[in-house]
Amino acid sequence: MFRSSFLQKKKKKQLSAWVATKILEPDQVRQRLKVLSYFVELAQRLRDLNNFNTCTSIMAALESSPVHRLKKVWEAFYDRRNHVLIGYYEDLLQLINAKGNYASYRRVLHAINPPVVPFLGVYLTDLTFIEDGNSDALSDKRLINFDKRRKLSKSIEEIKMYQQAAYSFTDVVPIQNFLCAVRGLDERLLYKRSLEVEPREESTSDPPPS
Q: Going from the N-terminus, what domains does the chain have, and what CATH number goes with each?
A: 2-119+170-197 (1.10.840.10)
**Does 7 score more than 50 pLDDT?**
no
Confidence of residue 10 (pLDDT cuts 50, 70, 90): low
Who's near 155: CB < 8 A, 6+ residues apart?
123, 126, 127, 130
Say how many residues make up the chain. Answer: 210
Q: Work out the percent of the chain whose per-residue pLDDT is above 90.
A: 74
Across 157-168, average pLDDT: 92
Query: Is 147:154 a contact under the CB 8 Å cutoff?
Result: no
Mean pLDDT of 174-199: 93
The whole-model pTM stands at 0.85
Among 178, 182, 188, 194, smallest CA distance to 26 is for 194
Mean pLDDT, the chain, integer: 89
**What distance in Å separates the CA atoms of residue 105 and residue 93, rounded to the nearest whole number?**
10
Per-residue pLDDT reduced to its tens digit, 106-146: 999 999 999 999 998 899 999 999 999 988 888 777 789 99
pLDDT band at 206 (very low <50, low <70, confident <90, very high): low
User: How far, in Å, CA of 127 to CA of 176, rounded?
Assistant: 29
Does residue 207 have a cis peptide bond before it, meaning omega lies within 30 degrees of 0?
no
Q: Which CA distances in Å does 85 have to 30, 53, 141, 168, 186? A: 16, 20, 56, 27, 28
* Helices 120-133, 2-24: inter-axial angle, 10-degree rounding: 130
